[in-house]
Every structure is written in structure tokens, then in C-alpha cells.
Chain A
Amino acid sequence: MDEKQKKQLRWICLTGALYALILIILHIGPGASLNVFPVNFLLFLIPYCMVGWKVIRKSIINISHGQVFDENFLMMVATFGALAIGEYSEAVAVMLFYQVGEFFEDFAVGRSRRSITQLMDIAPEYANVERDGKLTQIDPEEVKVGDIFVVRPGERVPLDGVVTEGSSMLDTAALTGESVPRSVHTGDEVISGCVNGDGVLKIRAEKAYEDSTVSRVLDLVENASDRKARTENFVTRFARYYTPVVVFAAVAVAILLPLLTGVSWQQGLKSACIFLVVSCPCAFVLSVPLTFFGGIGAASHMGILIKGSNYLEAAAKLKTVVFDKTGTLTRGEFSVTQILPAGEVSKEELLKKAACAEHYSTHPVADSIRRAYAQTGNDPAAVDASEISENTETAGHGVSVVVNGQKICAGNRKLMDAEGVAVPPVETAGTVVYVSEEGKYLGAIVISDIVKPEAKEAIRELHEAGVAKTVMLTGDRKASGEAVAEELGIDEVYTDLLPADKVGKVEELLSKEDKKSRLAFVGDGINDAPVITRADVGFAMGSMGSDAAIEAADIVLMDDNTRKVSKTVWLARRTMRIVYENITFALVVKIAVMVMSLFAVANMWEAVFADVGVSVICILNAMRMLRVK
């Protein structure tokens, strides 16, 4: 509770005590003789002004700026109405109760706002930099690239950099949600926002503060509430119409109710006042954005960065989730699992030729072939680079090089077909790299990617969360792609896709979706940025280093745990459920009180409950978002 709130609370208590005192004086003993107009009116006017002057002042200021319909105005009119029909004590009580409710509302919103921002509190406060032989704490923004800073045990790493001295365990939980600490040594890259364990680290800043991970993450999350969900916009629009409609209904009630049903004008006015009190849209305009914000906060605590509440809303409607196989379902670490030479060729010869061909390639497959070759105990480089006279790499096909005048090709079947090399079919689950020299088939190397241990569980959880269809896209051949899909329990699989085909495939899948459902694409962000952009919800995974992926994705997963995808869907559904709960609850209570007031069975107390009471309950309900683990 801050100073302002404490003052407010004291003031409310004081007024409440005075109000109680006046009630006692007027109703018990000799004081009862004072309970006549204008004495009682003047007496009640004191606590009324004490608690209500702020409301009245605000509503007058707002009217002078041309903003008529706000809650202050409504409370003013409603209590003036009560005063006019001689319900002095009720007017004070309503104003008092309204202020108590407002206080609780303020308090609850403030607290939830703080606990959510606390979840995202990864900003380092200072950096220890050596200046004139002394360690000084300076603002992280003042640290320049290349500066060496010291991180002591328990401190937060302020900027991205490379360890130059020392080793320690880093707690990355605040960034990735991953609770296992990471060990770092001299030469390792560290990202800002991690908390240091018990070693002292000297780190050279590689990026300025504003480009460092922590500041990018904060920017992303803080701006997330600017991209509003449709439900949020709907609520704001709804509030804009709701209030005037109820106010005019109140006028109609005040006039028509006595005329049509013959109740007293006083009763008509009373019903109208109740309408006015109920017409405040606070419960909607407060709780709905708060729930979304809570959802985004809870997600970022788990290492899931959601760029806007609109994506959270869309994630709740996911019916199809498309995975790019490599890097999301599998580790993206290829290793040679089989060497199948043809005819007279030896295994070693085949591997060497393949390593030659892949000399310049940066493709993961090339990496694994070179690694396998190096492991045979030969010179790590299969060929002297100067012997390679020509080198072409065709995406989705393979590579071909000319070494000492001999053309060596390594790639998939398409490449072999293009080269006119006849190859026998190799049936195996894995990527097959065919190797040929001068048009002669040398054999095949089988490379498999390791499936992530949690991938199967993640797919099952997605189905449980209500995702109807999971799809896998891969550049692999049919046999290997289907084997992985079956192992993981994926519903549909499209194989033999070139990177460019993936956009088309996702578009095709998008066109099959009906209006209410959404499609997500999950990629590792390395070369699938266009597909990530094209999908309704684009996930980039394990991409804390890749700017392109963060730029393109709607939801960024800080580490490469596949289960974060299902967690996101689950969290999104929970958020939407709470949003709808709040909207329904508030509407039902408000309409019920309005109807009751028409039949003269509701009083001001119920009306104030339907306003502030409902708001507080909705806010408390929204806070359940924070208890997500």
C-alpha cells in the first residue's frame, strides 16, 4: 500500500465512523427528535461531502472537458437522486461504499500490476566496471562494447558478453524458465538477465545494453499490451455504448415506470439511480486487459515471450499446429548413422569423398559428415581447399565440387537425377546423402537427426489442449519423415519439401481452416522466417540469438523445449476462459440488479455491489493467471 492509498483508507475510515455516529444519534435516545428536515439533511451532508467531494470535483472537471459519461458523473447523479428523494442516509452509504470499493479496486489492480511486472523483472540495476583501478557501479546503459565488467555471486549479468576470466553456474530461469543452471567458463558467451551463481566472472561486453538480450526481451514484453486482443477492443467498444445506453434507460425508467405501472415517482427515481450505479463498465475495462497482461506475464516467466494479447487470443483458438521438423521436434544435430558403399568402394573412401564435397557447405548435414570423417582419425580436412576448383550448392538438392578435375556430387535423389546418376533405392529412416564421382555412383551415407526426448509428450499435450491436427513439414524423404511422424504421434506429414515449398504448404493448410480456428507454425527461426510470418501464430524456438526470428515471430520461445508450445496453448485457453468468465459474471449480475430494480426489490447496496463488488471479484479472478506454474 503506498502513501496515497493509506491516506485514502484513513479518510474513508474517518468518514465511516462519523456516519455511524450520526446514525446512532438520530435513531437512539433523545437525538431522535433531531431526525427532521433540514437537521438530518445537514448532518448527513457532512460525511457526504467528506467522501464525495473528490467524485463531484472530478465529474465537473470531466464535464468541462466534454466527457460526460464516466463513473464519477454517474455516482454524482445517483447520489443526488437519493438526496432528492429524501434518502439521505442511503446517499452517504452509497458514496461511502463506492469509495471503499474503489479503494479495493485500486489496491487489487496495483498489487496485481506489481506482481506481474515482478515476474518480468529481469532488468539489471547496475554494472561493476573497473575505473581507475577501482570497481564502480555504473548504469548498464553507460557500458560500452569491449568494456570488461565484473559479476559477483548473486548479481545479474547486465549485458551480453563473453567470459574472459572465471567460471560459475548461471541461473537462466528468469529468461528461459529453465531451472537447471548452466555452467560457464572462460570463452563462453553469456546472455544478460541471468543470475550468477557462486563464482566471480569477468565478462567483456559484446553488445551495448540496448541491444542486449535483457533489454530486447523487456521491450518486447512491455509493448505486448499495446497489441490488443479483439476481445479487449471489443470490451472497450462495448463500454463506450454500454454506459450511455444504461444512462438513457435510467431516464426512461424514471419517467415510464411510474406512468406505466403506477408506482410512485420516488420509486421510479430510485430504480433509475440503481441503473446509473450499475452502468459503470469498470469490471470489463479493468479485468479483461489485466487478465491478458497476467497471461503474458505468466508466460514470460516460463520463458515464453508473447508479442501481444492478440496472439494469446489466437493461440487459444489453435486447431492446427505445423512443425518444421528440424530444430523443433528433433535436435537439429545430425550424425552419420550408416555408411553404405556401392561395389568396390571402401567405407573410408566413400566418407572421404563425401567430406570433400561438403568442404564448404554450412548445412548441418555437411557438418556431420565432416565430423564423422574427422573421427576416423584422418586429417580433419579431407581435401586441401586449393584443390577445389568449383563449388556449387543447390538448396534442397546438395552440393557438387570439382576436385583435381573430378566432379564429386553429394546430395539427395533429386541431385542424382539431375546429374543422370542411377542410384539404387535405399530404404531407411534418416536423411540419405548419395555420393557420385564423375557420374559414377559411389554409395550412400545415412544421417539421422535425434528426436527430442520431450517431443512426443509435447504432441500429446497439444492434442489434449484441444489442437485437432498436428502437421510436420520436412525436407526429408518420405520414409524417414513418416517414421519420425509416426514415432511422435503426428497426424499429417509432408515430406520432400524445399524451404520455399513450406510457405506454399502452410498457405494451403491455412486455406483449409475455418474462420474460427487458427493455425500456428513452429520453426527454429533459422531459415523459416517467411513461414513464421505467414502463419496466424508464428512460434520461433530456441532463438534467443537470432534477430530475424525474434522479428518475424509472434511468440518467441527462449529455449528449445517443444513442450513450451503446448504450454502456450494451455495458458492461452486459460486466459480466455477467465476473460469470458469475467465478462459473463459482470453482465449477469448487472442485468439481474437492473431487472430487480424494475420490480423494486433491489436497493442501492446491491447496485453498488454490482458495480465495485463485481469489479473486485473480476480482478481477483484475473489474478488466478499468476498462479499458473
Chain B
Amino acid sequence: MRKKFNIAVDCANCAAKVENALNEMPGVKAQVNFMTQKMTLEADMIDDALLDKALKTARKIEPEFEIRK
């Protein structure tokens, strides 16, 4: 499934780095768009657990990364 999230990310470079990190998660395809402040995730199942893991992965790269519900 494929889902879009509103996010807060500070710079274009951070967005690209976060995108790379998320794509390294098994079974996840991610796009992080700095300009529109949106993230698209593609995975078999997008639930809170996955979202939590994605957020943790992203925060390692960019501590101020946020997913807005």
C-alpha cells in the first residue's frame, strides 16, 4: 500500500538523507519531498509500528524530523 504523510523537515539536503535512510529499511520505498513537506511511503502494511520505526530512522539523521498526523 501507499500512503502520504505531512512532515516537517528543515532542509533539502536533510530530506534527501532521510529518504536514503528510509529506503534502506527492508520492504519500504520512500519519497521525502522537502518542497511540499510531504513523505510518501510504500510498503506491504503501513501501520503505527512501521511509522514509528520510520520516524526513529529519520530522527537519527535529522533530529528535528517530524511526521504530522
Q: Please report A residues at the B interface, Cβ cutoff 8 Å.
A: 58, 61, 65, 67, 106, 109, 113, 116-117, 222-223, 225-226, 236, 239, 282, 285-286, 289-290, 293
Tell me if A113 and B35 are in contact (CB < 8 A): yes
Tell me if B63 and A225 are in contact (CB < 8 A): no
**B25 at interface, CB cutoff 8 A:** no
> Could you jot down 14 A-B contacts, CB within 8 Å?
A58-B63, A65-B60, A67-B17, A106-B10, A109-B11, A116-B35, A117-B36, A223-B31, A223-B33, A225-B33, A226-B33, A285-B12, A286-B12, A290-B12
A286 to B37, CA, bound (A): 15
A395 to B68, CA, bound (A): 54
Taking the nearest CB of chain B, how far is it from the CB of A238, in angstroms?
A: 13
A306 to B23, CA, bound (A): 26
Contacts of B36 in A (CB 8 A): 117, 222, 225
Produce 1/0 per residue, B4-17, CB < 8 A to A: 00000011110011
Taking the nearest CB of chain B, how far is it from the CB of A551, in angstroms?
A: 18
Contacts of A109 in B (CB 8 A): 11
A113 to B34, CA, bound (A): 9
Tell me if A222 and B38 are in contact (CB < 8 A): yes
A286 to B12, CA, bound (A): 6
From B11, B33, B34, B63, A61 is in contact (CB under 8 Å) with B63
A208 to B17, CA, bound (A): 35
Taking the nearest CB of chain B, how far is it from the CB of A139, in angstroms?
A: 15
Top-3 shortest CB links A-B = A293-B35, A222-B36, A285-B13
**B50 at interface, CB cutoff 8 A:** no
A293 to B12, CA, bound (A): 12
A285 to B15, CA, bound (A): 11
From A67, A286, A293, B11 is in contact (CB under 8 Å) with A286
Contacts of B11 in A (CB 8 A): 109, 286
Contacts of B13 in A (CB 8 A): 239, 282, 285-286
B13, B17, B34, B35 — most chain A CB neighbours (10 Å): B35
Q: Which residue of B lies closest to A287 (CB)?
A: B12
Taking the nearest CB of chain B, how far is it from the CB of A228, in angstroms?
A: 10
A90 to B23, CA, bound (A): 42
Tell me if A225 and B35 are in contact (CB < 8 A): yes
Taking the nearest CB of chain B, how far is it from the CB of A573, in angstroms?
A: 21
Q: Which residue of A lies closest to B63 (CB)?
A: A61
A106 to B31, CA, bound (A): 22
Q: Which residue of B lies closest to A285 (CB)?
A: B13
**17 new A-B pairs (CB below 8 Å) besides A117-B36, A222-B36, A226-B33?**
A58-B63, A65-B60, A67-B17, A67-B61, A222-B38, A225-B33, A225-B35, A226-B31, A239-B13, A282-B13, A285-B13, A286-B12, A286-B13, A289-B12, A289-B34, A289-B35, A290-B12
- List CB contacts (< 8 Å) of B48-68 with chain A: 60-61, 63
A106 to B9, CA, bound (A): 11
Contacts of A239 in B (CB 8 A): 13
Contacts of B33 in A (CB 8 A): 222-223, 225-226
Contacts of A286 in B (CB 8 A): 11-13
A223 to B33, CA, bound (A): 8
Contacts of B12 in A (CB 8 A): 285-286, 289-290
From B10, B16, B38, A236 is in contact (CB under 8 Å) with B16
Q: Which residue of B lies closest to A109 (CB)?
A: B11
- List CB contacts (< 8 Å) of B25-53 with chain A: 31, 33-38
From A65, A113, A222, B61 is in contact (CB under 8 Å) with A65
Contacts of A225 in B (CB 8 A): 33, 35-36
Taking the nearest CB of chain A, how far is it from the CB of B1, in angstroms?
A: 14
A222 to B31, CA, bound (A): 11
Q: Which residue of A lies closest to B59 (CB)?
A: A61
Taking the nearest CB of chain B, how far is it from the CB of A300, in angstroms?
A: 12
A113 to B7, CA, bound (A): 14
Taking the nearest CB of chain A, how far is it from the CB of B3, in angstroms?
A: 13
Contacts of A117 in B (CB 8 A): 35-36
Taking the nearest CB of chain B, how far is it from the CB of A477, in angstroms?
A: 49
Contacts of A285 in B (CB 8 A): 12-13
A223 to B61, CA, bound (A): 23
A225 to B34, CA, bound (A): 9
A225 to B17, CA, bound (A): 16
A116 to B33, CA, bound (A): 14
A58 to B31, CA, bound (A): 24
A289 to B15, CA, bound (A): 12
Contacts of A226 in B (CB 8 A): 31, 33
A67 to B13, CA, bound (A): 13
Contacts of A293 in B (CB 8 A): 35
Contacts of B37 in A (CB 8 A): 113
